[in-house]
Amino acid sequence: MTAPMKWEAVHSCKCCSGTAPLFGVVDFSKNCYERKGVVLPLSGIPIYYYRCPVCEFLFTDFFDDFSNEEMNEWIYNDGYSTVDPDWETNRPNAMAETIIQHFKQFGRDISVLDYGCGTGRLSQILRENGFTKVVNFDPMVEEFSAIPKQKFDLIVCFEVLEHVTNPNQAFQEIAGLRKENGLVVHATFLQPPEFEKMRLNWWYVGPRNGHISIHSAKSLSHFWSEVGLKVVSTNHNSHIAFDSPPEFASDVLKQVIISPSR
Protein backbone atom coordinates (compact mmCIF):
# COMPACT_ATOMS: atom_id res chain seq x y z
CA MET A 1 0.00 0.00 0.00
CA THR A 2 1.30 3.41 -0.96
CA ALA A 3 0.03 6.30 1.15
CA PRO A 4 -1.04 9.52 -0.58
CA MET A 5 0.90 12.04 1.51
CA LYS A 6 -1.10 15.25 1.40
CA TRP A 7 -2.22 17.85 3.88
CA GLU A 8 -3.03 21.54 4.05
CA ALA A 9 -3.55 24.07 6.84
CA VAL A 10 -7.20 24.74 5.98
CA HIS A 11 -9.81 22.91 3.96
CA SER A 12 -13.20 23.78 2.53
CA CYS A 13 -15.80 22.25 4.84
CA LYS A 14 -17.48 19.24 3.24
CA CYS A 15 -20.68 20.17 5.06
CA CYS A 16 -21.30 23.93 4.88
CA SER A 17 -18.45 24.99 2.52
CA GLY A 18 -16.96 27.22 5.19
CA THR A 19 -13.30 27.26 6.17
CA ALA A 20 -12.26 24.22 8.18
CA PRO A 21 -8.84 24.58 9.85
CA LEU A 22 -6.58 21.64 10.52
CA PHE A 23 -7.80 20.17 13.83
CA GLY A 24 -5.24 17.47 14.46
CA VAL A 25 -3.42 14.42 13.18
CA VAL A 26 -3.43 10.75 14.20
CA ASP A 27 -1.70 7.63 12.97
CA PHE A 28 -3.66 5.53 10.48
CA SER A 29 -3.63 2.63 12.96
CA LYS A 30 -5.78 4.51 15.49
CA ASN A 31 -8.97 2.49 15.85
CA CYS A 32 -12.21 2.46 17.80
CA TYR A 33 -11.29 -0.52 19.95
CA GLU A 34 -8.14 0.91 21.49
CA ARG A 35 -10.24 1.61 24.56
CA LYS A 36 -10.80 -2.15 24.78
CA GLY A 37 -7.15 -3.04 24.36
CA VAL A 38 -6.85 -3.35 20.58
CA VAL A 39 -3.74 -1.25 19.97
CA LEU A 40 -2.12 -1.77 16.58
CA PRO A 41 1.52 -1.00 15.76
CA LEU A 42 2.08 2.50 14.42
CA SER A 43 1.85 2.62 10.65
CA GLY A 44 3.78 5.88 10.25
CA ILE A 45 0.97 7.18 8.03
CA PRO A 46 -0.46 10.51 9.27
CA ILE A 47 -4.20 11.14 8.90
CA TYR A 48 -5.09 14.83 9.09
CA TYR A 49 -8.56 15.82 10.32
CA TYR A 50 -10.22 19.19 9.74
CA ARG A 51 -13.06 20.71 11.75
CA CYS A 52 -15.38 23.51 10.76
CA PRO A 53 -15.94 26.07 13.56
CA VAL A 54 -19.43 26.84 12.23
CA CYS A 55 -21.12 23.45 11.71
CA GLU A 56 -18.52 21.52 13.75
CA PHE A 57 -18.19 18.80 11.12
CA LEU A 58 -14.93 16.82 11.46
CA PHE A 59 -13.45 15.07 8.45
CA THR A 60 -10.31 13.88 6.72
CA ASP A 61 -9.60 14.12 3.00
CA PHE A 62 -7.02 11.30 3.09
CA PHE A 63 -9.31 8.77 1.43
CA ASP A 64 -11.10 11.13 -0.96
CA ASP A 65 -9.45 9.79 -4.11
CA PHE A 66 -9.55 6.11 -3.12
CA SER A 67 -11.45 3.67 -5.31
CA ASN A 68 -13.72 1.05 -3.73
CA GLU A 69 -10.98 -1.48 -4.35
CA GLU A 70 -8.45 0.66 -2.49
CA MET A 71 -10.87 1.13 0.40
CA ASN A 72 -11.24 -2.62 0.63
CA GLU A 73 -7.46 -3.01 0.53
CA TRP A 74 -6.82 -0.42 3.25
CA ILE A 75 -9.89 -0.66 5.48
CA TYR A 76 -12.38 -3.45 4.79
CA ASN A 77 -9.83 -6.24 4.63
CA ASP A 78 -9.17 -9.38 6.65
CA GLY A 79 -8.01 -7.27 9.59
CA TYR A 80 -11.18 -5.22 9.85
CA SER A 81 -12.89 -7.51 12.35
CA THR A 82 -9.99 -6.92 14.74
CA VAL A 83 -10.88 -3.24 15.03
CA ASP A 84 -14.66 -3.73 14.76
CA PRO A 85 -15.56 -7.21 16.05
CA ASP A 86 -19.27 -6.37 16.38
CA TRP A 87 -19.92 -5.50 12.74
CA GLU A 88 -20.81 -8.95 11.43
CA THR A 89 -23.19 -10.23 14.10
CA ASN A 90 -23.77 -8.25 17.29
CA ARG A 91 -24.51 -4.89 15.68
CA PRO A 92 -26.92 -6.09 12.96
CA ASN A 93 -28.67 -8.26 15.55
CA ALA A 94 -29.21 -5.24 17.81
CA MET A 95 -30.27 -2.96 14.97
CA ALA A 96 -32.71 -5.55 13.62
CA GLU A 97 -34.25 -5.86 17.07
CA THR A 98 -34.87 -2.10 17.09
CA ILE A 99 -36.59 -2.17 13.69
CA ILE A 100 -38.69 -5.19 14.64
CA GLN A 101 -39.72 -3.59 17.91
CA HIS A 102 -41.05 -0.45 16.24
CA PHE A 103 -42.28 -1.61 12.84
CA LYS A 104 -43.07 -5.35 12.90
CA GLN A 105 -46.82 -4.83 12.57
CA PHE A 106 -46.16 -3.15 9.21
CA GLY A 107 -43.57 -5.69 8.04
CA ARG A 108 -45.66 -7.10 5.21
CA ASP A 109 -46.64 -3.68 3.91
CA ILE A 110 -43.56 -1.46 3.95
CA SER A 111 -40.52 -1.66 1.67
CA VAL A 112 -37.19 -1.52 3.48
CA LEU A 113 -33.68 -0.71 2.24
CA ASP A 114 -30.60 -1.54 4.30
CA TYR A 115 -28.21 1.13 3.01
CA GLY A 116 -24.63 0.05 3.69
CA CYS A 117 -25.74 -3.47 4.53
CA GLY A 118 -22.38 -5.22 4.89
CA THR A 119 -23.06 -8.97 4.95
CA GLY A 120 -26.82 -8.52 4.70
CA ARG A 121 -27.46 -10.06 8.10
CA LEU A 122 -29.86 -7.36 9.24
CA SER A 123 -32.08 -7.94 6.21
CA GLN A 124 -31.99 -11.67 6.80
CA ILE A 125 -33.25 -11.20 10.35
CA LEU A 126 -36.00 -8.84 9.20
CA ARG A 127 -37.20 -11.36 6.61
CA GLU A 128 -37.26 -14.07 9.26
CA ASN A 129 -39.52 -11.79 11.30
CA GLY A 130 -42.13 -11.05 8.67
CA PHE A 131 -40.64 -8.19 6.66
CA THR A 132 -41.29 -9.29 3.08
CA LYS A 133 -39.90 -6.38 1.04
CA VAL A 134 -36.30 -5.92 2.12
CA VAL A 135 -33.44 -4.93 -0.20
CA ASN A 136 -29.69 -4.69 0.45
CA PHE A 137 -27.28 -2.09 -0.89
CA ASP A 138 -23.59 -1.64 -0.16
CA PRO A 139 -21.16 -0.26 -2.76
CA MET A 140 -18.28 -2.01 -1.00
CA VAL A 141 -19.82 -5.48 -1.33
CA GLU A 142 -19.97 -6.79 -4.89
CA GLU A 143 -23.08 -8.87 -4.26
CA PHE A 144 -25.04 -5.81 -3.13
CA SER A 145 -23.31 -3.06 -5.10
CA ALA A 146 -26.07 -2.32 -7.62
CA ILE A 147 -27.93 0.84 -6.66
CA PRO A 148 -31.65 0.02 -6.28
CA LYS A 149 -33.99 1.42 -8.92
CA GLN A 150 -37.03 1.45 -6.66
CA LYS A 151 -37.86 3.75 -3.75
CA PHE A 152 -38.53 2.71 -0.17
CA ASP A 153 -40.83 3.45 2.75
CA LEU A 154 -38.09 2.84 5.30
CA ILE A 155 -34.34 3.20 4.85
CA VAL A 156 -32.08 1.92 7.60
CA CYS A 157 -28.52 3.20 7.61
CA PHE A 158 -26.61 1.95 10.62
CA GLU A 159 -23.00 2.98 11.23
CA VAL A 160 -22.54 4.12 7.63
CA LEU A 161 -22.45 7.91 7.48
CA GLU A 162 -19.13 8.14 9.31
CA HIS A 163 -17.55 6.03 6.54
CA VAL A 164 -18.39 8.17 3.50
CA THR A 165 -15.80 10.35 1.77
CA ASN A 166 -18.42 12.44 -0.04
CA PRO A 167 -21.18 13.09 2.49
CA ASN A 168 -23.17 15.43 0.23
CA GLN A 169 -23.44 12.70 -2.36
CA ALA A 170 -24.39 10.10 0.25
CA PHE A 171 -27.17 12.19 1.80
CA GLN A 172 -28.54 13.04 -1.64
CA GLU A 173 -28.47 9.39 -2.65
CA ILE A 174 -30.24 8.24 0.51
CA ALA A 175 -32.90 10.93 0.21
CA GLY A 176 -33.42 10.02 -3.44
CA LEU A 177 -34.16 6.41 -2.50
CA ARG A 178 -37.06 7.42 -0.25
CA LYS A 179 -40.67 7.18 -1.25
CA GLU A 180 -42.68 10.30 -0.60
CA ASN A 181 -42.91 10.62 3.20
CA GLY A 182 -40.34 7.86 3.59
CA LEU A 183 -38.33 7.50 6.78
CA VAL A 184 -34.56 7.20 7.32
CA VAL A 185 -33.57 5.50 10.57
CA HIS A 186 -29.82 5.82 11.03
CA ALA A 187 -27.03 5.52 13.55
CA THR A 188 -23.81 7.47 13.82
CA PHE A 189 -22.23 8.83 16.98
CA LEU A 190 -22.35 12.60 17.40
CA GLN A 191 -19.43 14.50 18.88
CA PRO A 192 -19.89 14.80 22.66
CA PRO A 193 -20.16 18.21 24.39
CA GLU A 194 -16.56 17.93 25.62
CA PHE A 195 -15.18 17.13 22.17
CA GLU A 196 -13.04 20.26 21.88
CA LYS A 197 -11.17 19.14 24.99
CA MET A 198 -10.95 15.49 23.95
CA ARG A 199 -10.11 16.37 20.35
CA LEU A 200 -8.85 13.39 18.33
CA ASN A 201 -8.40 11.32 21.48
CA TRP A 202 -12.14 10.59 21.30
CA TRP A 203 -12.57 6.86 20.69
CA TYR A 204 -14.85 7.27 17.66
CA VAL A 205 -12.14 8.99 15.63
CA GLY A 206 -10.70 5.84 14.09
CA PRO A 207 -9.19 6.03 10.61
CA ARG A 208 -8.38 2.30 10.69
CA ASN A 209 -12.12 1.72 11.02
CA GLY A 210 -12.76 4.00 8.07
CA HIS A 211 -14.24 6.74 10.24
CA ILE A 212 -13.79 9.59 7.83
CA SER A 213 -16.75 11.88 8.60
CA ILE A 214 -17.54 12.62 12.24
CA HIS A 215 -20.79 14.48 12.79
CA SER A 216 -21.99 17.07 15.22
CA ALA A 217 -25.68 17.72 15.80
CA LYS A 218 -25.28 20.83 13.64
CA SER A 219 -23.66 19.05 10.70
CA LEU A 220 -26.17 16.20 10.72
CA SER A 221 -29.05 18.67 10.70
CA HIS A 222 -27.40 20.68 7.91
CA PHE A 223 -26.89 17.70 5.61
CA TRP A 224 -30.49 16.53 6.01
CA SER A 225 -31.91 20.02 5.56
CA GLU A 226 -30.00 20.32 2.29
CA VAL A 227 -32.09 17.41 0.94
CA GLY A 228 -35.36 18.70 2.38
CA LEU A 229 -35.53 16.61 5.54
CA LYS A 230 -35.48 17.30 9.25
CA VAL A 231 -33.80 15.05 11.79
CA VAL A 232 -34.52 14.17 15.40
CA SER A 233 -32.15 12.25 17.63
CA THR A 234 -33.36 9.71 20.16
CA ASN A 235 -29.89 9.69 21.72
CA HIS A 236 -26.31 10.55 20.75
CA ASN A 237 -26.16 7.65 18.27
CA SER A 238 -29.71 7.09 16.93
CA HIS A 239 -31.49 9.45 14.55
CA ILE A 240 -34.58 9.66 12.35
CA ALA A 241 -34.81 11.82 9.21
CA PHE A 242 -38.17 12.59 7.59
CA ASP A 243 -40.36 15.29 6.10
CA SER A 244 -43.99 14.37 6.78
CA PRO A 245 -44.36 11.42 9.17
CA PRO A 246 -45.61 8.28 7.39
CA GLU A 247 -48.55 6.49 8.97
CA PHE A 248 -46.46 3.46 9.92
CA ALA A 249 -44.10 5.66 11.95
CA SER A 250 -46.48 8.21 13.43
CA ASP A 251 -46.45 6.71 16.92
CA VAL A 252 -42.67 6.35 16.96
CA LEU A 253 -42.09 9.91 15.82
CA LYS A 254 -44.67 11.26 18.23
CA GLN A 255 -42.76 9.70 21.12
CA VAL A 256 -39.41 10.96 19.86
CA ILE A 257 -40.53 14.52 19.13
CA ILE A 258 -42.42 14.93 22.38
CA SER A 259 -39.85 13.27 24.63
CA PRO A 260 -36.46 13.14 22.89
CA SER A 261 -33.61 11.59 24.85
CA ARG A 262 -30.47 13.62 24.23
- For 137, counting Cβ atoms within 10 Å of its Cβ (0-12 exposed, 13-18 middle, 19+ buried), the class is buried
- What CATH number does the domain located at 10-258 have? 3.40.50.150
Pick the more confident residue, 89 or 200: 200
- Residue 74, helix vs strand vs coil: helix
Question: What are the start-end ranges of the H helices in 7-58?
Answer: none
- CA 132 to CA 135: how far, in whole Å? 10
pLDDT bucket at 261, cuts 50 / 70 / 90: very low
Half-sphere exposure of 121 (CA within 13 A, CB side): 15
pLDDT above 80: residue 255: no
CA angle 15, 28, 208 (to 5 degrees): 75
Q: Convert the pLDDT of each residue in 105-128 to its tens digit.
A: 999 999 999 999 999 999 999 999
H or E segment at 83? helix 80-83
- CA 245 to CA 249: how far, in whole Å? 6
Do the bridges between strand 19-27 and strand 46-51 make them parallel or antiparallel, or are there none, so unpaired?
antiparallel
pLDDT above 50: residue 20: yes
Average pLDDT over the chain, rounded to an integer: 93
DSSP per residue over 80-137, as a string? Answer: HHHH-TTTTTHHHHHHHHHHHHHHGGGTTT--EEEET-TTSHHHHHHHHTT---EEEE
pLDDT above 80: residue 46: yes
Residue 161: Cβ within 10 Å count: 24
Q: Where along the chain do its domains lie?
A: 10-258
Helix (H), strand (E) counts: the chain: 8, 11
Residue 195: which residues within 8 A CB-CB, separation 6 or more? Answer: 56, 202, 216
- For 146, counting Cβ atoms within 10 Å of its Cβ (0-12 exposed, 13-18 middle, 19+ buried), the class is exposed
pLDDT bucket at 260, cuts 50 / 70 / 90: very low
pLDDT bucket at 9, cuts 50 / 70 / 90: confident
pLDDT of residue 67: 96
C-beta of residue 243 within 8 angstroms of C-beta of residue 231: no
> pTM of the entire structure?
0.92
Residue 262: which residues within 8 A CB-CB, separation 6 or more? Answer: 233, 235, 236
What average pLDDT does the segment 239-256 reach? 81
Do the bridges between strand 10-12 and strand 19-27 make them parallel or antiparallel, or are there none, so unpaired?
antiparallel
